[in-house]
Amino acid sequence: MNTELARLVEEARVVCVLTGAGISTESGIPDFRSPGGIWSKYRIIEYGEFMANEAARLEDWRRRFDMEDQLGIVEPNAGHRWIAGLVRSGKCPHMVTQNIDGLHQQSGVPAERVIELHGNARHAYCTDCETRHEIAECRAMLEATGNAPQCRECGGIVKSGVVMFGEMMPQTALGRAEDAARDCDLFIAMGTSLVVHPAAMLPVHAKRAGAKLAIVNREATDFDEFADLVIHAEIGATVST
Ligand SMILES: [Zn+2]
């Protein structure tokens, strides 16, 4: 464990952790926006097109099933486990993630303590009545009918829980994330380049409220100069003992 990070955590009363794609790449999930990632392989389907067009929905679902196959074989890593331990200790009441893979929950962080800014790929919702549907159920519906999944309750359009391009950010999650950033006295950004909004604003909220800022990321970020501690390394190597 990096001794300076350990000291900051030791001294902190309330920690808020933000994670980005970097923590998932250490589990073997490619950054969806980087070369080899899913968005470089496929054209972007925006929310409006998904809602308006059955062919776009079918194309989107095929990608979700690809992603589901990939997510089925990945495991949380040392970074996820360290954060889960921090949450378990009571020091980190909430964590925020830009990831959609559900690996924090899988590593033992209770779902109500994980604030997901970009949604979650592991389940789906009806866009009319919000009834939750499982991905496997959606796949079975598509395979049985050849049509994009429709809500079993109301017949509405079912969409994966991932926030799509062109779709409004989940406002409840965003508000909770801002509160968590303001309420901590140590904010740790891990595996995020802090360029995608709204995540990029969270360290600003934390700093303005008087918190210390630690950044663990392989590459430099625009926030490095404002941080109290910057570690340019893998997360797993940074937190492992
Ligand atoms: Zn419905």
Q: Kindly give the distance from the C-alpha atom of residue 104 to the centroid of ligand 1, in angstroms, as a whole number.
A: 28
- Is pLDDT at 177 greater than 80 in this prediction? yes
Q: For the chain, percent helix, then strand, then coil, each to nearest 5?
A: 40, 20, 40
Tokens of 10: 């030791």
Q: Which of 183, 207, 238 is nearest to 5 (CA)?
A: 238
Provide the pLDDT for residue 41: 67
DSSP one-letter string for 63-97:
HHHHHHHHHTT----HHHHHHHHHHHTTS-SEEEE
Q: Report the separation in Å between the CA atom of 158 and the middle of ligand 1, taken as the mean of its atom positions.
A: 7
Share of the chain above pLDDT 90, in %: 80
54 and 85 Cβ atoms separated by less than 8 Å: no
Q: Given 118, 133, 205, 232, which residue is catalytic?
A: 118
**Ligand 1 midpoint to CA 101 (Å):** 24
Catalytic annotation on 118?
Answer: yes
What pLDDT shows up at residue 71? 80
Q: What are 57's two structure tokens?
A: 């929905």
Q: What is the pLDDT of residues 187-240, one digit of tens each?
A: 999 999 999 888 999 999 999 999 999 999 999 999 999 999 999 999 999 999
8 Å CB contact between 16 and 92: yes
Backbone torsions φ then ψ of 126, nearest 5 degrees: -75, 130
> Hey, how many other C-beta atoms are within 10 angstroms of the C-beta on 214?
25
Residue 129 CA, ligand 1 centroid: distance in Å: 4
Cα–Cα separations (whole angstroms), residue 79 to 82, 191, 233, 236:
5, 10, 12, 5
> Do the strands 186-190 and 15-19 form a parallel or antiparallel pair, or are they unpaired?
parallel
Which residue, 164, 169, 223, 168, is CA-closest to 192? 223
Query: What's the pLDDT tens digit per position in 86-129?
Result: 999 999 999 999 999 999 999 999 999 999 999 998 899 999 99
Query: Cα–Cα distance between 2 and 200 in angstroms, integer?
Result: 24
Q: How far is the CA of 225 from the centre of ligand 1 (A)?
A: 48
pLDDT at 226: 94
Report, as an integer, the average pLDDT of 58-64: 92
